[in-house]
Amino acid sequence: MNKPIIDVLNGSARKPPPVWLMRQAGRYLPEYRVLREKAGSFLDLVFNPELAAEVTLQPIRRFGFDAAILFSDILVVPQALGQAVTFAVGEGPLLDPIKDRTDFERLTSHVDHTVLAPVYETIRRVKSTLPPTVALLGFCGAPWTVATYMVAGRGTPDQAPARLFAYRDAAAFDVLMDVLVEASASYLVRQFQAGVDAVQVFDTWAGILPPEQFARWCIAPTRRIVTMVRLQVPGAKIIGFPRGAGSLLPRYVAETGVDAAGLDWMIDRTFAHEQVQCSVPVQGNVDPLALLAGGGALDRAVDAAMEAFAGGPFIFNLGHGILPETPIAHVEQMLKRIRGS
């Protein structure tokens, strides 16, 4: 049976467009908060295939989205490279920061897939229960975005630690990026082997890079991942999401070879339609704050995205992850408006 999202990734326009939301499994759902409590820590939830599969399926049951996204996190890759990751409640991720070359020379250069085995088991479990029209999406963080957390040891407003590291010792940063390219590619290949239909590469921090660094740290590593994955999984469908890429997005699409471009909420829609959707399907891009606000502002945001993109291959989504404070009724309002039901 056809999966609408895969049709779109193959270049078809669907009416209404298929829809899923970044971070659709998470804290805005009361049923998520119950399981999160039960699991203990966030990573205990991620590495428990039974509970992680359940969390992956929760938003599908509640809203009937067209894709389920594997419940995991981009920071399981550093974990599998030997850099301990913890999530302090209300504080986000914490890692031992990488201050210099010797710090990351202590990490292993290949991911330990036994650490990630529960994630692959989650994929197999979800796959076996998902309705046939619903796609299962895997994901990883792009090397640049993952490196920003590895270097800073936490989230920062501007990822200055990684940017400074890359300026001060570009050769060392290159080695770290090489490790992450290989790790991410092999992680995605295993996800495909376990049953995902497509994957998304999240480059959340791409937009803070000046153009030359954007080419070096965002485009080049992503292109290598796309090539390496397709070598082992011919025809693998890959969505790239370089948040904040702006005018560099057409170049990102052309040079990385991704199958579709995730659009953030900041991009000019006419530009994205004319310069990006002309060559690949697009996904996005309602402002998560418009969804949080609801009412007329939400209706207008939904209509604007539909008018700009629904004539071509388009996957409806937000321009970044759904915010934990988002009322469930607003998600329902948005789906009704998209689907006209």
Tokens of 247: 């005018």
Question: Exactly one of 32, 149, 187, 252 is catalytic; which is it?
Answer: 149
Q: How many CA atoms lie within 13 Å of 232's alpha carbon, on the beta-carbon side?
A: 15
Active site residue 124: no
Q: Least CB distance from residue 84 to ligand CP3, whole Å?
A: 15
| Residues that bind ligand CP3 in the complex, under the rule CB under 6 A | 22-27, 36, 42, 69, 71, 73-75, 87, 92-93, 139, 141, 145, 155, 202, 204, 321
Question: Is 178 annotated in the active site?
Answer: no
Q: Which is nearer to ligand CP3, 145 or 326 (CB)?
A: 145
Given the residues 27, 62, 230, 251, the one annotated as active site: 27
Instruction: Indicate if 27 belongs to the active site.
Output: yes
Two tokens, residue 310: 């629904």
For residues 19-48, one letter each, b for 16 or more C-beta atoms within 10 angstroms of the residue's C-beta and e for the rest, the string is: bbbbbbbbebbeebeebbeebeebbebbbb
Q: Which of 23, 62, 216, 223 is catalytic?
A: 23
Please state the closest distance from residue 85 (CB atom) to ligand CP3, in A: 9
Identity of the residue, 11 or 92, whose beta carbon is nearer to ligand CP3 in the bound complex:
92
266's tokens: 């900041």
* Minimum distance, C-beta of residue 155 to ligand CP3, in the bound complex (Å): 5
For ligand CP3, the closer CB: 75 or 248: 75
> Pick the catalytic residue: 73, 259, 264, 287?
73
Burial class (CB in 10 A: 0-12, 13-18, 19+), 133: middle
Taking the C-alpha atoms of residue 204 and residue 207, their distance in angstroms, rounded to an integer, is 8
Active site (annotated) includes residue 23: yes
Instruction: For the CB of residue 35, give the shortest distance to ligand CP3 in the complex, in Å.
Output: 10
Check: CB of residue 321 under 8 Å from CB of residue 288. yes
Q: Is 112 a catalytic residue?
A: no
- State the minimum distance, in angstroms, from the CB of residue 156 to ligand CP3: 10
Name the residue among 102, 117, 248, 226 with its Cα closest to residue 176.
102
Query: Could you tell me which of 195, 202, 209 has the C-alpha nearest to residue 130?
Result: 195
Taking the C-alpha atoms of residue 185 and residue 228, their distance in angstroms, rounded to an integer, is 6
Question: 74 or 134, CB closer to ligand CP3?
Answer: 74
Contacts of 218 (CB under 8 A, 6+ apart): 142, 144, 203, 206, 209, 242, 245, 252
Q: Indicate the residue among 139 and 165 with the shorter CB distance to ligand CP3.
A: 139
Q: Give me the active site residues, please.
A: 23, 27, 36, 73, 149
